[in-house]
A and B are shown apart, each in its own frame.
Chain A
Amino acid sequence: MKSKWALAPYLFLAPALLVFGFAVLLPVAMTVGYSFTEWNGYGEMIFVGFENYITAIGDTVFRDSFVHVLIYIVVTLVLEVAVGLVLAGLVSGVKRGSLWFRVAIFTPVMLPMVVVAVLWAFVYNADFGLLNAALEAFGLAELQRVWLGDTSTALLAISVVSGWVYAGFYMTIFYAAFSQIPTDVVEAARLDGAGEARIFRSVKVPMIRSAVIVAVLLCVTGGFQSFDLFYVMTNGGPYGATEIPTTYLVRTVFSFGNVGYGSAMAVLLTGVIVAIGLVFVRLNGRNGKRDRA
């Protein structure tokens, strides 16, 4: 369309670009700048070149935080994406009442993660928590744990909470994708004598391949950006067993005032997330998507 006035498109764009440039692009550039300095946030800023990056790569806490987040991502891929896929398959086979089921499973997605975290800290509470009480009720008292205080269970416990929230989210995405599959394709497979499990595995899931890829992308990139659950439930503890990159860098910058070093870690983390995003975009020929809380 031709404009009456050549400046018109720029004027329509200006407010959005100004806000975005001011609150996102400018700070991205500044963060990269900070990463080459030693700075406590207000005093003198000293240029140190790549020193922060070298320190970060040798920092065992930082390296372990990536190991933890990778474990978390693998577990949540199963608990969120795989479980969501199976649930969507089961629900799409049910004719009546599926709305109520979807309501029950989806509600946690609507809640702030902090609310979920506080609620689940109670579920895991060693004294009166729902989980230990349930184990006792089923005669499994010997399985009782201080779930969030035990280095061997804390990370898994947080992953389960994440699964509780996001299984419904991915189920919703897959349910929508399943309902787009033409029924005659499924009927044809059924006539050929394929069982429901076989149809699910060999017909339905391959047909929603791109939705599955997007879900894996969201789960992986979202996983790297996790913060809320970890901060509220354990804040990296016990003994660093749930330290993930973002809890570590928030502590480095905002508790210890180490802006330069924190920025270098932020840049490294960003590099990993963007690289994964670009690989998936290439893989799927689609656009990636931003974070999910």
Chain B
Amino acid sequence: MSATLRDMSTEGSLLRRIPAILVTLGLVVIAVVFFFPMVWMVLSSFKSNAEIFSSPFALPTGIDFSRWVEAWDVGHIGQYALNSVIVTGSSVFAILLLGVGAAFAFSRYRFPGRSLLMGLLALGLLLPLQSYFIAQATMFTDLAITDTRWALIVPYTAMGLPLAVYLLKVYLDALPDELFEAARIDGAGDLRMFWSLVVPLLRPGLATVAIFSALSCWNEFLLALLYIQDDALKTIPTGLLAFSSRYVTDYGLLFSALSIITLPMIVIYIVFNKQIVEGITAGSLK
């Protein structure tokens, strides 16, 4: 019934189609406007300062990647990217490992203190960064871990855990009890059950959690700004800021750096858009 109705509406009169065409045109215009700053950024990366000033909309005279290479090497963008990969990779790995452990305990065991501990962790869903970063900074200074990667990996892990545990627990709660009973009857111990049952079954949930955790670690700025002064350890956000004050008037080089950082993210989105959209919506709606 609904299928035939849909056919009628799509193949209906021309009059009915005009709004649809207008909508499509409007969307194309909006997409172009949205995308234009990024197109301008890439085009400008191939221009000299003089060209950037005199003809902002003109195409560059040639496509020359030498400034990109310069930004990557001389400007340390490569080093910042590597630091971001290390910090994000370690944090996401820790979030997943510790998160599954906690979610498993909350989902499959009943033990004294369970609701109290769950409540404590749920506080992390409500408390903003502003509620703890001042004291965290003084603590990290006292412990002399500022200007080490730990100063980022530890807080990123802690900040990512509450939502990760919450979502993974939802996935785990949906698994049938019989699975675990059967494993128990077969003689599996707690640890064995964790590694050979929980972790493999949770793979789709882990992927979702990994995606939004990775995005927030990759983009985090405030803590990175406060804890890392050593240029060799800076991640992309703080590194780019340092870069932009080092080369404050070398616009071609700045646009090159921005392009190097932006283009891989566009490619990643095009390739993984389904998983990313799923990760982002799960991360915000649940």
Contacts and interface: CB of A to CB of B under 8 A. Distances in A.
Interface of A: 1, 3-6, 8-10, 12-13, 15-17, 19-31, 33-34, 41, 87, 90-91, 93-95, 97, 99-115, 118-120, 122-123, 127-130, 133, 137, 164, 168-169, 172-173, 176, 183-184, 187, 190-191, 196, 211, 214, 218, 221, 224-225, 227-228, 231-232, 245-246, 249-250, 253-254, 259, 262-263, 266-267, 269-270, 273-274, 277-278, 287-293
A227 B6 CA distance: 47
Contacts of B266: 103, 107, 110
B215 A123 contact: no
Contact of B35 (A104, A114, A269, A287): A104
14 contacts: A3-B190, A4-B189, A15-B98, A19-B161, A24-B124, A24-B132, A25-B132, A27-B136, A28-B132, A30-B139, A110-B268, A164-B34, A274-B126, A293-B221
Interface residues of B, number: 116
A289 B160 CA distance: 12
B24 interface: yes
A277 B218 CA distance: 25
A246 B165 CA distance: 28
Q: Chain A's interface: helix, strand, loop or mixed, by majority?
A: helix
Nearest to A99: B273
B134 interface: yes
A112 B20 contact: no
A10 B52 contact: no
Given A4-B189, A113-B221, A196-B19, A108 B273 contact: no
Nearest to B166: A287
Given A93-B23, A94-B27, A111-B262, A287 B105 contact: no
A113 B138 contact: no
B134 A31 contact: yes
Contact of B37 (A101, A103, A130, A267): A130
B34 A105 contact: yes
Contacts of B38: 107, 119
B144 interface: no
Interface string B232-265: 0000111011001000000100110010011001
